[in-house]
């Protein structure tokens, strides 16, 4: 039985815990309702390499149980594999440039611990990944949102923002961006803009946090260098994850940055190393190029699902809905014609049996009532087709 917490105990909460807003959505509910849900960027369970992960776990326990099941230092082999992956992306990382974490979410929580005092400015895209934005906001950051267009963050708008801040003698702590297969819009920032973004961060003397969990999942267009690989000035903090390319339940991510930044992030990581057992399992799984092969398989699979969704949208949605076609990642972003409100659409779609992420959930300030995000990653093909038909019928009715 739940009872109301006594006000005397409530007073003991830190101010930030008294003020914190409840999560605006709860990913754990995905798959636990009867609705066909396009809401969350869950991986497709059909592609989890169950047997290989079981074999990797068994091998670790058979050969290295004493270290795997005890407290311990970061597992060097996994760090070396991450360094090799960074090298393949043109980033010449050394061991002191890399920190292993419990998912990239842990890094998104550590970053404000290292950089943000209450009231400090952090620049973000609007819309953006709310997990990150919440973490910065909870640390007391003053968030400034820069609009996006088909090429990611709109850099003219960014320049205006940075210029105004400069006039007020305010130096943002960092610019948080998802330049490749953006969450939620699916857009990718072209090379010219990437270079300009780096130049702007140098001119206004701030850092960039490049969040790149989807970069490996490209199924169309030319591969592009990461901001990190173009940076020669230690301005970029790169974070990525095994969540979308292997399995989110493993909770493994990594950061690459200047050693002094990595050291600070590590100092706030109170548990010390990340999972001696799981780091060994992931390293064992990834050995011998298996991860690269798995990524190829995932990419083909997600490409097919994305195409299936776009074809269904083409049949079912009125042409007035503007749809951004992604070159990779997990998401399709849809913009509604004037006068169509996303909350109303969501209600009608749910009455028909399907749900999605309304755009309002992707902005820090209540904008986004004219857009929504569809994740094609999680659902089986039949449900993608059925769910798009529900949303299409709701749209036509409106």
Ligand X SMILES: Cc1ncc(COP(=O)(O)O)c(C=O)c1O
Q: Applying CB under 6 A, does 104 fall inside the site for ligand X? A: yes
From 139, 178, 197, 261, residue interacting with ligand X (rule: CB under 6 A): 178
Of the pair 133, 395, the CB lying nearest ligand X is at 133
Closest distance to ligand X from the beta carbon of 104 (Å): 4
3-state SS assignment for residue 40:
coil
Q: Applying CB under 6 A, does 135 fall inside the site for ligand X? A: no
Q: Applying CB under 6 A, does 377 fall inside the site for ligand X? A: no
Query: What angle (nearest 5°) sits at the alpha carbon of residue 163, between those of residues 162 and 169?
Result: 90
Contacts of 189 (CB under 8 A, 6+ apart): 151, 152, 153, 177, 179, 180, 197, 224
Closest distance to ligand X from the beta carbon of 395 (Å): 26
Q: Applying CB under 6 A, does 350 fall inside the site for ligand X? A: no
Of the pair 172, 248, the CB lying nearest ligand X is at 248
Q: Which stretch binds ligand X (CB under 6 A): 100-108, 109-117, 223-231, 367-375?
A: 100-108
Closest distance to ligand X from the beta carbon of 167 (Å): 31
How many chain residues are in contact with ligand X, going by CB under 6 A? Answer: 14
3-state SS assignment for residue 359:
helix
User: Alpha-carbon distance 359 to 128, whole Å?
Assistant: 10
Of the pair 155, 246, the CB lying nearest ligand X is at 246
* CA dist list (Å): 197 to 78, 144, 152, 189, 256: 31, 16, 11, 10, 19
8 A C-beta contact, residue 388 and residue 352: no
**Which residue has tokens 């708008």?**
157
Closest distance to ligand X from the beta carbon of 206 (Å): 20
Q: How many CA atoms lie within 13 A of 285 on its CB side?
A: 28
String of contacts with ligand X for each residue 248-277, x by CB under 6 A: x----x------------------------
8 A C-beta contact, residue 190 and residue 158: no
Q: Which stretch binds ligand X (CB under 6 A): 10-18, 240-248, 278-286, 361-369?
A: 240-248
Instruction: Specify the pairing of strand 207-211 against strand 236-241.
Output: parallel
Q: Percent helix, strand and coil across the chain, each rounded to 5?
A: 45, 15, 40
Kindly report the length of the chain: 398
**Which residue has tokens 């009608």?**
348
Q: Applying CB under 6 A, does 360 fall inside the site for ligand X? A: no
Q: Applying CB under 6 A, does 326 fall inside the site for ligand X? A: no
Q: Applying CB under 6 A, does 105 fall inside the site for ligand X? A: yes
Q: What is the DSSP letter of 184?
A: T
String of contacts with ligand X for each residue 181-220, x by CB under 6 A: --x---------------------------x-x-------
Of the pair 265, 394, the CB lying nearest ligand X is at 265
Closest distance to ligand X from the beta carbon of 243 (Å): 3
Of the pair 206, 240, the CB lying nearest ligand X is at 240
Closest distance to ligand X from the beta carbon of 239 (Å): 7
Tell me which residue has its CB nearest to ligand X. Answer: 103
User: Alpha-carbon distance 199 to 202, whole Å?
Assistant: 5
From 103, 112, 172, 275, residue interacting with ligand X (rule: CB under 6 A): 103
CA-based torsion, 375, 378, 380, 386: positive or negative: negative
Closest distance to ligand X from the beta carbon of 172 (Å): 19
- Host H or E run for residue 2: none
8 A C-beta contact, residue 37 and residue 30: yes
Binding site for ligand X (CB under 6 A): 41, 103-105, 129, 131, 178, 183, 211, 213, 241, 243, 248, 253
């Amino acid at each position: 039985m739940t009872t109301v917490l006594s006000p005397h105990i409530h007073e003991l909460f830190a101010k930030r815990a008294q003020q914190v807003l409840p999560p605006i959505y709860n990913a754990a509910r995905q798959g636990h309702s009867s609705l066909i849900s396009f809401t969350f960027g869950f991986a497709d369970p059909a592609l989890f390499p169950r047997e290989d992960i079981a074999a990797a776990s068994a091998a670790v326990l058979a050969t290295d149980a004493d270290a795997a099941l005890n407290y311990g230092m970061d597992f060097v082999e996994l760090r070396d594999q991450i360094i090799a992956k960074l090298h393949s992306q043109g980033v010449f990382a050394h061991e002191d440039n890399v920190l292993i974490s419990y998912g990239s979410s842990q890094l998104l929580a550590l970053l404000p611990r290292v950089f943000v005092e209450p009231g400090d400015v952090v620049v973000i895209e609007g819309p953006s990944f709310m997990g990150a934005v919440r973490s910065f906001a909870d640390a007391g950051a003053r968030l400034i949102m820069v609009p996006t267009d088909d090429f990611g963050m709109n850099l003219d708008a960014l320049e205006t923002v940075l210029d105004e801040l400069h006039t007020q003698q305010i130096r943002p702590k960092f610019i948080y961006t998802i330049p490749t297969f953006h969450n939620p819009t699916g857009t990718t920032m072209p090379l010219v803009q990437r270079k300009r973004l780096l130049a702007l961060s140098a001119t206004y003397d701030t850092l960039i946090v490049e969040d790149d969990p989807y970069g490996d999942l490209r199924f169309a267009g030319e591969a592009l260098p990461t901001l990190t690989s173009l940076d020669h000035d230690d301005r970029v903090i790169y974070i990525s994850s095994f969540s979308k390319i292997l399995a989110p339940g493993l909770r493994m991510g990594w950061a690459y940055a200047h050693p002094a930044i990595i050291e600070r992030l590590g100092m706030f990581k109170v548990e010390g190393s990340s999972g001696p057992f799981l780091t060994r399992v992931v390293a064992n799984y990834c050995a011998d190029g298996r991860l690269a092969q798995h990524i190829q398989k995932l990419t083909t699979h997600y490409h097919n699902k994305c195409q299936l969704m776009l074809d269904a949208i083409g049949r079912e949605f009125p042409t007035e809905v503007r749809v951004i076609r992604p070159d990779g990642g997990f998401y399709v972003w849809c913009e509604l014609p004037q006068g169509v409100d996303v909350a109303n659409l969501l209600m009608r779609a749910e009455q028909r049996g399907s749900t999605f992420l309304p755009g309002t959930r992707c902005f820090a300030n209540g904008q986004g009532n004219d857009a929504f995000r569809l994740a094609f990653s999680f659902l089986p093909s039949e449900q993608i087709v059925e769910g798009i038909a529900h949303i299409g019928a709701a749209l036509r009715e409106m």
